[in-house]
Structure 1
C-alpha cells in the first residue's frame, strides 16, 4: 500500500513528529511516501533529521522528501496535514499584547476573542493559497486534514472558498473524556460519550458507563476531585449553569464567553496558575515561546535521546492517522471531526463548521445526525458562530467593516470594550499584522492615518494582565529538561499538566 502524505508546516515539532509516528505504526503504511514542507529552512531541517532518525531506527526505508517548495511537496499527495501558524510567534504576540492595552485579557487567543479573530485573518489568507496549490498539484481525491487554529474559521474557509475537501481535527474531546472518566474513578475506554457543538465549545451531551447515565452527578463529581475543583472553576461553573461539561480547558473557555475575564480584579477568582492552561494571561504564547527557544537550543541533545517507537502502544490519540487508516484499510474508526454542519446538529446553522461524532471506513467519513443540542449550549455556540461567520467573510473579502463587526459581536471583547475602543484596537491590530494581511492593503493604509493623526483614546499601554508570567530563559528550562522537552515536543501543550507546573 503506497500513497503520499504531505505535511504543510512541518517545522512544528509538536505535531509533525507525533503525527508521523502515529501514521507509521500502521503496518500497511510501511511503504508510503512522506513529504515535509515549511517556510523556515532551519526548523524544517531539524524536524526532518529527527523524524528520519526515528524512521531509520524503526527499520523502515521511507525517505522523507523535505522542501521549502510547497507545490513540489504537494505533488501527487493524497493526504495533506496542515499545522501552520501564519506570522509565527511574532504575530501571535500582537494578538495577545494589543488587546491587553484595551483590557481584553486572553489566556490563548487563537480560536475566538480578539486574538483568534486576527489569527483567522492571517490564516485564511494563506489557506486559500494552500488550497490553490492543492487543487493544482495534489491527487484528485485529496483530503486536507487541518490542525491549524482557529479551527472552525479555517476549515469553513477551505470548504466554502478553497475548493478542497477539508476536515478539521482537534484533541479537546479526548482530554475532557479522560477527565469525566477520572472524576468517577473509571477508565476512559469504559465511558461512552456523545460530544457535539463547535470546536473548543463542544458539549458532552451524553456520558454512560455500563448503560448508566453519568451526566446528572457530574458537577458534584468534579467538585469532589482534588485537582479539578481547583483548576477547572470556569468549566464547573458552566456545567452548573448550562447542564453540560464543555471540552475546552479552563483558560480557553474563559475567553470565549463574557463572564469570567471582563473585570481584571475578578479573573484570579476563576483561574489557577499551577499550569498555563488553567487561565494564565498569555499562557499559550509563553509556553510556545519557551518550546521554540528550547528546541532550537537543545536540538543536538534531542538527536541523542531515544527515538520514537513505532509500536501500537506508543500511538497517540490524534485523529489524523486513524482517519487515514480507516479510509485506506477499511478498519472502522470513531472520532470527533470538524465538518460543515449540513443538518448534523439541527439547531446550529447548516453552513457552520461543527464538531461532532463521526465514523470512518473505506466508504469515507460518515457523520450521524446528532439532532438538537440543549438550548443553553446551542446559544453559547451560536454566539461564537456569528463571530466566526463575520470573521471568515471579512478575511475572504478584505472587508474591515465586517472585521470590526466580528470584534463587536465577540462575547469577551464586547463585554470589555465600547465601540470606539474596538475600532481603535482593530486599527492597531491591522497595522501590526500588515506583513500577513495582503487582503487589507487599503484598510491598513487608512488605519495608519487614523493612528498617526488626531487624538487617540487612552489605553493601558503597560498593562501586563491579571495573571502574566514571564517567559523562562533557556537556563531556567535546563533545570528540568524533561519538562522542557515535553513542552516543546507535544502537540497538546496542556497534556500531563502536573509536569508543566511553574
Structure 2
C-alpha cells in the first residue's frame, strides 16, 4: 500500500516545491499519495499546480489531493509534514517593527527572542489542533515539523501530545557542513562529522577526513582572511572552540554580545531585520511561480535530495539506513542539558523508525550557551500550557539578546504591546496582561 504524505501549510511555495521535488526524485516514492492542505484557497490551488508540474518534471505519477479541510487531509496519513506560518508576512513585520521602536535589534526573529516567543505563542494553538486530529485520525503517523520556532514547537508538542511520533527537521547542520567543506576545499562526501546542541545553536563537535580533524585547516583559512573574521559565527568559533551550525544572522540573536552594540554590529556586518526582506522575497517568489505556472506545465527540479523529510520517508519506507540531524525531546541524550526540552542530535533512520543517538556531555561552554537558549524555550511553552501570561514576560526577561538591550520594565511594556498586536492569534489565556509591579516604591 502506497504511503500517504500530508503537507500542512502547502501554500508555502518554497517548501512545497523543494519537498515534492525531493520526494518524487526517489523512484520508490514516485506513486505516493500526496495530500496538500492550506487554509488559503488561492495558495492551495498554486500548490496543486506545483505538485502536478513537479510530478511531470520527475516522471512520477503520484496521487495528489488538495483540501482546505485539515481533518480530511490527515485521515489515514502516514507522514505529516508541517510547514505552517501562522500570521504570515503581516505578523512577521509586527514582530520586527514593534521591538525596533524600543531599540531592540533582531535579525531573523523566529527562534527565541521576542520574535521567536510570539511566533511560538501564535503557532501553538494550531499545533494543538493538528495534534488532536492526528491522535484521532492517524495516531501512528510521523509528524515531521519544519515550522519555527523549532525547539519551542517540538517541546510544546511533547507537552500536549506526548504519544505522537515527532521529528523536528532543519537543514542548518547540512548546509553548515557543506559551507565549511567549501571553505577548506575538501569534498563534502569525503568528511564525517558529529554535531549536537539545540536547533540553530548546535555545535560541530567533530569534523574529520580520513580520521584527521579538519579544524586546523579552518583555522588556517580564517587566519588568512580578515573578512572571514568579520562574521558572527566565526567570531564565536574563535572564542568558544566549536563552530555553531547556523548563520551569523541567526547566531547573533541567541547570545548577549552583539546586537545591542553598534560597533559590534558594524564590525561583524550584521544585517538587522534581515528576515523581513526574506519574507518579502518569499512573497515575490510566490507571485513569480504563479506567473510561471500560467505559461508552463512543468517545473524543473533539483535532482538529489537535500531536505530531511524526504530522506526520513524514504528510509522508513525502504529500510535505507541514513544519519541526519533531528530535533527530539531530550531524554538523557545530551546529559548536561535539561530533559524534557528539544535538542538536536544525530539520528539514525531505518525501516524501524528514527533512533536519536546519545551524545553525552557537550563541552561546558557550549552547554552553558544552550541552557541560556533553552530558558526562553521552556518558559514560553510553560506559559502556553499553564495559561500564565507572566511567564511570557519571564521568557523575554531571560532571553539573552532582549535582556542585554532593555530594562525589565521596557521588556514588560514590549510584551504588552506585542500581545495586543497579535491578540487574535494567541491562546485566549495569554491575551490578558498581568499587573506589573509598582516601580515607584
Q: Normalising by structure 2, what TM-score?
A: 0.94
Match of 1:355 in 2: 344
How far the C-alpha of 1:302 sits from its partner, in A, is 4.0
**Structure 1 residues 358-382: Cα deviation after superposition (integer angstroms, max 9, x where no partner):** 1100121112211111011110001
**Structure 1 residues 303-349: Cα deviation after superposition (integer angstroms, max 9, x where no partner):** 43683456xx7123111111111111111011100011111111111
Match of 1:373 in 2: 362
Instruction: Choose which of 258, 265, 268 in structure 2 pairs with 1:267.
Output: 265
Are 1:293 and 2:284 matched, yes or no? yes
Contact 2:25 2:305 (C-alpha < 8 Å) held by counterparts: no
Match of 2:22 in 1: 22
Distance 1:300 1:122, change over 3 A: same
Contact 1:94 1:432 (C-alpha < 8 Å) held by counterparts: yes
Are 1:421 and 2:420 matched, yes or no? no
- Which structure 2 residues correspond to residues 344-493 of structure 1 after superposition, within 5 A? 344-440=333-429, 443=432
Give secondary structure in 2 for the equivalent of 1:307: coil
Distance 1:307 1:86, change over 3 A: same
Q: Which moved more, 1:425-434 or 1:296-305?
A: 296-305
Match of 2:143 in 1: 144
Contact 1:359 1:366 (C-alpha < 8 Å) held by counterparts: yes
How far apart in 2 are the matches of 1:112 and 1:20?
29
How far apart in 1 are the matches of 2:324 and 2:212?
22
**Structure 1 residues 157-184: Cα deviation after superposition (integer angstroms, max 9, x where no partner):** 1122124221100010011101221222
How far apart in 1 are the matches of 2:172 and 2:79?
22
Contact 1:71 1:137 (C-alpha < 8 Å) held by counterparts: yes
Q: Cα RMSD over matched residues?
A: 2.1
Are 1:53 and 2:53 matched, yes or no? yes
Instruction: Choose which of 326, 339, 344 in structure 2 pairs with 1:337.
Output: 326
Are 1:40 and 2:29 matched, yes or no? no
Match of 1:274 in 2: none
Distance 1:57 1:208, change over 3 A: closer
How far apart in 2 are the matches of 1:4 and 1:196?
31
Contact 1:219 1:236 (C-alpha < 8 Å) held by counterparts: no
Match of 2:249 in 1: 251
Q: Which moved more, 1:141-150 or 1:126-135?
A: 126-135
How far apart in 2 are the matches of 1:88 and 1:149?
12
Match of 1:471 in 2: none
How far apart in 1 are the matches of 2:128 and 2:36?
19
How far apart in 2 are the matches of 1:360 and 1:75?
25
How far apart in 1 are the matches of 2:211 and 2:290?
49
How far apart in 2 are the matches of 1:259 and 1:331?
43
How far the C-alpha of 1:296 sits from its partner, in A, is 2.2
Distance 1:296 1:202, change over 3 A: same
Are 1:211 and 2:231 matched, yes or no? no
How far the C-alpha of 1:130 sits from its partner, in A, is 1.0
- Which structure 2 residues correspond to residues 122-271 of structure 1 after superposition, within 5 A? 122-138=122-138, 140-163=139-162, 164-225=164-225, 228-230=228-230, 233-271=231-269
Match of 1:493 in 2: none
**Structure 1 residues 461-481: Cα deviation after superposition (integer angstroms, max 9, x where no partner):** xxxxxxxxxxxxxxxxxxxxx
Distance 1:68 1:166, change over 3 A: same
Give secondary structure in 2 for the equivalent of 1:80: strand
How far the C-alpha of 1:56 sits from its partner, in A, is 3.3
* Count of paired positions: 437
Give secondary structure in 1 for the equivalent of 2:81: strand
How far the C-alpha of 1:48 sits from its partner, in A, is 1.1
Q: Which moved more, 1:326-335 or 1:391-400?
A: 391-400
**Structure 1 residues 122-166: Cα deviation after superposition (integer angstroms, max 9, x where no partner):** 11121111111111122x311000000000100111122124221
How far the C-alpha of 1:45 sits from its partner, in A, is 0.7
Match of 2:272 in 1: 281
How far the C-alpha of 1:292 sits from its partner, in A, is 0.7
Contact 2:30 2:62 (C-alpha < 8 Å) held by counterparts: yes
Give secondary structure in 1 for the equivalent of 2:347: strand
The unaligned stretches of length 5 or more in structure 2 are none
